[in-house]
Amino acid sequence: MAIADVLSPNLLDATTRLIVESSRTALDWFRPGARPGRHSGAALTVDNKRTAGFDPVTEADRAVERLIRDGLTDLFPGHAITGEEFGVSGDGRYRWFIDPIDGTRAFVTGQPMWGTLVGLTVDGQPVAGWMHLPVLDETYIGLETGSHLVLATDATGRRATVPLATTATTALSDAMLLCTHPSMFAPGPELQRFEALGEQVRMVRFGGDCMNYGLLASGDADIVVENQLQTYDILPLIPVINGAGGVVTDLQGEVPVAGGYVVAAATPELHAAALAILGA
């Protein structure tokens, strides 16, 4: 099925505007101590969604998701929606997935590596994905026709749109590996295999959240390996990575639509080399 059957050029533009404008509202709550007057001036309220451990959620998460839900409902009547904060609504072939702030831990600690993720599936398969990074004012868009990055406005108010392409790296020894945090991997063999991969690559960097996958798609990094992801954490990014020429699967080599363990790489050769270590 052609994506144009669901997203006409006008609907694609409208969806992108909705995601960008909704995502930007989170800036009203970002670093309240350093950015007085952005919202109420009050300290950011952080709630915990877990009874054990810590999974933060803020009023910014909820506000962004409400805006996107309402906008998608207006643009695509009858489409189903699954969001991190407000769950599942509707049913049918077409379903949207929303992560209003991917990287809430970064958000609440004043770090800029967070963004809004939105993805569309048709019959359970990801066909379009968006990531907007409000602090950088950059938007990654992945479609079956390819992926591109819409850069921040310049001094003239214009935006540049550039195609995305992963690197041609095939050897682990040449690869840059990104991961949000090593605690994503269970102590014991799982963590040991990740550490073994880290010993084979040129460099490992931690942090980044969703931005890691954009850096892979733009050719700034070569591999992203993470675990404990939810569907809305990765599904919107699958079209971005694939459209840029990369490969993204779970440890079994399947498309990771359910989240969990994710291995994303710039080339099939690099992906296979990483899987050989991680799945050993």
pLDDT band of residue 156 (cuts 50, 70, 90) is confident
pLDDT at 1: 56
Residues 64-77: b if buried by 16+ CB within 10 A, e if exposed: bbbbbbebbeeebe
Given a cut of 70, whether residue 35 has pLDDT beyond it is no
Task: Report yes or no: 223 and 266 within 8 Å, Cβ to Cβ.
Answer: yes
pLDDT at 173: 98
pLDDT of residue 5: 76
Asked if 99 and 209 sit in the same domain, the reply is: no
Domain edge (last residue) among 136, 163, 190: 163
On whether both 222 and 132 belong to a single domain, the answer is: no
Regarding whether 248 and 138 lie in a shared domain, the answer is no
Q: Could you tell me what percent of the chain has a pLDDT over 90?
A: 82
Q: Are residues 145 and 255 in the same domain?
A: no
Is the domain of 74 the same as that of 107?
yes
Same domain? 129 vs 237: no
Single out the residue in 163, 196, 231 at which a domain terminates. 163
Asked if residue 179 and residue 155 are part of one domain, the reply reads: no
The secondary structure element, H or E, covering residue 82 is: strand 80-83
Considering the domain architecture, whether residues 156 and 245 belong to the same structural domain is answered as: no
Over residues 173-196, mean pLDDT = 97
Q: How confident is the model at residue 176 (pLDDT cuts 50, 70, 90)?
A: very high
Residues 32 and 11 in one domain: yes
Q: What is the pLDDT of residues 94-116, one digit of tens each?
A: 999 999 999 999 999 999 999 99
Provide the phi-psi class of 92: left if phi over 0, else alpha when psi is between -120 and 50, else beta. left
The answer to whether the Cα torsion of 13, 234, 23, 96 is positive or negative is: positive
Give the tens place of pLDDT for each residue, 13-32.
Answer: 999 999 999 999 999 999 87
Domain end marker among 121, 137, 163: 163
Which residues are CB-neighbours of 103 under 8 A, at least 6 positions away? Answer: 111, 113, 114, 115, 209, 210, 211
Question: Chain-wide mean pLDDT for the chain?
Answer: 92
Q: Supply the CATH number for residue 221's domain.
A: 3.40.190.80
**pLDDT the model gives residue 259:** 96
Residues 178 and 155 in one domain: no
Domain co-membership, 53 together with 15? yes
Provide the domain count of the chain: 2
Answer yes or no: is pLDDT of 142 > 80. Answer: yes
> What pLDDT does 152 receive?
77
Domain interval for residue 237: 172-278
Q: What is the mean pLDDT of residues 66-89?
A: 96
CA angle 239, 74, 96 (to 5 degrees): 25
Q: What is the pTM of this model?
A: 0.93
Amino acid found at 212: N
Q: Does the structure show a pLDDT above 60 at 38?
A: no
For the record, the structure tokens of 117 come out as 């993720």
CATH number at residue 49: 3.30.540.10
Of 175, 172, 177, nearest to 207 by C-alpha is 177
181 and 257 co-located in one domain:
yes
| Tens of pLDDT, residues 222-251 | 999 999 999 999 999 999 999 999 999 999
Distance between CA 248 and CA 147 in Å, rounded?
14
